[in-house]
Structure formats: C-alpha cells, structure tokens
Amino acid sequence: MPLAISLPTSSPHLFPRRRVHPNLRYRRISVAARSSTQKNNQTGVIIVGAGLAGLAAATRLTSAKIPFLILEASDGVGGRVRTDIVDGFFLDRGFQIFITAYPEAKKLLDYEALDLQRFYAGAKVFYGGEFHTVADPLRHLWDSVASLANPIGSVVDKGLIALTRARVLIKSDEEILTSADEVPTIDLLRKIGFSDEILDRFFRPFFGGIFFDRDLETTSKLFDFIFRCLALGENTLPAMGIGEIPNQLAAKLSADSILMNTRVASIEYPNGSGSGPPTVRLQDGGVLNAELGVILAVEQPQVNKLLSGIREPVITKPARGTICIYFAAEPNQIPVQDPVLFLNGSNSGIINNMFFPTNVAGTYAPPGKALVSVSLIGSFEDRSDDDLAAEVIRELSGWFGESLVTSWRHLRTYRIEFAQPNQCPPTDLVKNPRVGSGLYLSGDYMTSATFDGALVSGRRAVEALLREKGLI
C-alpha cells in the first residue's frame, strides 16, 4: 500500500507568487546569447570562471567602477549552480537548497525577484518501515510536540537540538568561521551528548546531504554556520530553478563583460612573478592582459593546472561527490503533496535523501506533471546510470509503494565528482586570496563550502586587489 503522508503547513511561498503567462514560464536569462565574442587584448581585471565566486567578484568591481572581463569555459554562468531544462522539467545540477539567512547573499540578491518557494521546516525520516517527523518547534510547534516520542531520537536529544540552536545563535558568523576551536562534526555532536539513534537516523542523512559527507567528518565550524543559518532562515528554491541565482547576478553586469565557451590554458608571468599582473593564455592561443589583476574563480584542481608554471600544486583532500537522479511522474503518482525533505534513517540502501521539487515549486515541471529528485552520496563509479536508477526505484518502492514508484520515468542522472571541497579539520575558512603580484583566488574552498562562502570569496578577492593597488 502506498504511504499517504500529510503535514499541516502554511503556504510554501516565501514571497507572493507572481502571475506569469504560461508562454513565458520557460523564458530564461541567457548571458551567452548577449555576451560579446570579441576578445579584447586588455581590460582592468580578468576573472576566470563565471560561477558564484566570479560573479560576486564582478559585482564588487562594478560597484568600484573598474572594468573587467569574465572568461567562462562552459556555455553558461553558475558553475556548479545551474539548472537544465529537460522535456520541460527544471533539473538543478545536483541537490541544492538555498537558505535565506546566508548573510552575503542577503546583500547581493533580490529574493523577491527569485520568487523563493520554501520547504517544510523539518523532515520526514524513513525508519523501521515508516516515516517519522522531525520538525522545527518554533515553526511547527504541534508537529514537534507530536514527534517527541518517535524513534528518531529521545526527548533528551530533541532538547539538545534546542540547546545547540541557542548556542550558535549567540555567536556571530565571523566568530563561528574564524574560531580556532574545531573538530569533526560527528565529534562535536557526540560531545554535546546526542545519542547514536539520532546521529544515525537524522544527523547523518540531513547534514550528510548538505556536506555530501555521511560520516560527518566536516569541520564543526561549518556545522555551526549552517545550523545558525537554518535557525534564522528558510530552506527554499527559486521558482525557476537554482540557476536563477547566478542568472540574477549576471543580468546586473554589462552586456559585453562575459565571454562564454572561452577556455583558459594557463596563467603566466612573462617577465617574472614580481613584474605585475600575469597574462592569461587562452586555449585557442590568444593572450589577454589585465591592467590591475587576474582573479581565478575556478575549482581548486583547475587552479593547480592553471598555475602549474608559477607554483607547486596545492595538495588537497579528496573532494565530496554526489549523484542526483531525476524522475518524471504524473501528479497522482506522488504520495505526498507537502514540500518536505525525506531522509533515509534506516542505515541501509543507497539513497541518502529525496524530495518532490514540484511540491516546493510547481514551476519545476510542465503543467500536469510532477518531478522526483533523489540524492546519493559518493561516486558509485562501478555502477551504471541505469543500474542506479533501477535500484532507487526498488528502494523507494519500499517507502511509498510499488504501484506508484514503478510508474516513474527516469529523466536524467547527474554525477557530480566535485560537489564541494573537502573541509575536514584542520581548516582555514578565511584564506588570503593573494597568490602573487596581481593574482588572486576565489571560490568556496577559500572560505566555507556554501553558496555564501563562494559569494564572500569573490568579494574578498576584489578587496585584496583594491588594497594592493591603493584603491581602498
């Protein structure tokens, strides 16, 4: 029998839904379509990479009225934060949730224009063959009271969650991220006193899904930062996909400032490392020069390749990987209508978490259709896409009923090898962005492995450049 699940919630819309003509609901901002293809020889600053870090750097340069050029190897902005349209469905590239309390994001983004749609403040945990609610007591009091006796954790565990919330709220974001006191998240949670039951059934799938680290070896500084943001904000999705976040940032930049499909081959100091900003050599043989500096806003492995002639590679921990599998369904094949995240608390199977994006934002599917998103942690290199999709269907048949789940149609599988940098202790979340004369780094590996960390890193790289040039 399929499981019918109902959660009494308020409207999922954080901001009032704007009425959009049906023929316009698939209209997307296309920076590539309006970007210049002319490669100028020189500009003020060259930014390599049009992900969140590169776009944040460009935003800061715009405010300082400094000319720049962004070089992006792919066909669109966003880096890891992109949304594809497949058969009319909006597919985010991997499981991504936007938390409205991110401090840097609040400064840069227009939340109302993003039309943010919110999740239920809690989760449904699959354990012992049924679902159990974990709810935020400040937002869903009676759901929280009703869940006190469920097997996801003891009453003491749920009291410790409240104490942990109070502990992180008395600290500032800066205090948390710059703290010298850090341990793996799992060690922190055990020190607080959480039971193995709630660690295995809630914390591992929930924060493991955020960090792509079910072992919870990620630094406690990142746990505290995320916990604080969750306490202060809402979990949301932009109505038109997670890719609308970088699209919004890019739309505010000058029309000829981003070059798509432009791959950088190397960064070089032709006259020595102390001679001023480096030159940028393109894969097609072209050479670009920056009067003030170059900002690398790409993943750390790519930084090592681009700087191979300047410095020795930086040894890093293995990156966090994930797989996201999407299915299309009919609305009557969806067992729940609420915008809730489902967690695998059974400590068996390959699924970590899943949800129905169309329950959060109906715009993620064509009219009369529904979308299913399932997340796995790890690479599963020895398994094919079809094999993984079939196993997910078998596993979810035990959650929701075979008659519903076997009717879902596999849409696409995303294998994301570099979903996040590995931020196990020891960490430095306020790294100096300067590499050499006129050369700076940005990216979430320089700060915290979050949307906000990427945005902060872009701003910090520009401010380091401006300080070095005496412009601030």
Tokens describing residue 91? 């597919």
Position 13 pLDDT exceeds 90: no
Look at residue 284 and give its three-state secondary structure. coil
Quick one: how many helices (H) and strands (E) in the chain?
17, 20
Average pLDDT over residues 2-6: 39
Fill in the amino acid letter for 356: F
Edge-to-edge strands, sheet with 409-420: 130-135, 122-127, 341-344, 353-355, 370-377, 320-329, 409-420
**DSSP string computed for 309-377:** TTSPPPP-PPPEEEEEEEEEE-GGG-SB-S--EEEE-SS-SS--EEE-HHHH-GGGS-TT-EEEEEEEE
Position 258 pLDDT exceeds 60: yes
Q: How confident is the model at residue 312 (pLDDT cuts 50, 70, 90)?
A: confident
| Closest of 353, 334, 301 to residue 401, by C-alpha | 334
Q: How confident is the model at residue 24 (pLDDT cuts 50, 70, 90)?
A: very low
Length of the chain: 472
Q: What is the pLDDT of residues 127-185, one digit of tens each?
A: 999 999 999 988 887 888 888 889 999 999 999 999 999 999 999 999 999 999 999 99
Report d(CA 293, CA 278) in Å as an integer: 7
Position 274 pLDDT exceeds 90: no
Distances in Å between the Cα of 179 and the Cα atoms of 28, 222, 330, 355, 442 are 41, 11, 49, 34, 21
The residues facing 68 across adjacent strands are 45
**What residue has token string 């992109």?**
82
Average pLDDT over residues 441-466: 97
Position 20 pLDDT exceeds 80: no
Q: Are 119 and 126 contacting, i.e. CB atoms less than 8 angstroms apart? A: no
Q: Are 57 and 462 contacting, i.e. CB atoms less than 8 angstroms apart? A: yes
Position 301 pLDDT exceeds 50: yes
Tokens describing residue 223? 């746990």
Report d(CA 344, CA 48) in Å as an integer: 39
Position 341 pLDDT exceeds 90: yes
Burial of 20 (0-12, 13-18, 19+ CB in 10 A): middle
| Closest of 405, 408, 397 to residue 365, by C-alpha | 408
Average pLDDT over residues 12-23: 40
Burial of 292 (0-12, 13-18, 19+ CB in 10 A): buried
Position 80 pLDDT exceeds 80: yes
High-pLDDT (> 70) share of the chain, %? 91
Are β-strands 439-441 and 434-436 bridged in parallel, bridged antiparallel, or unpaired? antiparallel
Name the packing angle between helices 451-468 and 52-63 (round to 10°): 40
Report d(CA 375, CA 416) in Å as an integer: 11
Report d(CA 82, CA 450) in Å as an integer: 15
Report d(CA 446, CA 429) in Å as an integer: 6
Q: How confident is the model at residue 41 (pLDDT cuts 50, 70, 90)?
A: confident
Distances in Å between the Cα of 150 and the Cα atoms of 190, 297, 349 are 20, 46, 22
Q: How confident is the model at residue 110 (pLDDT cuts 50, 70, 90)?
A: very high
Position 119 pLDDT exceeds 70: yes
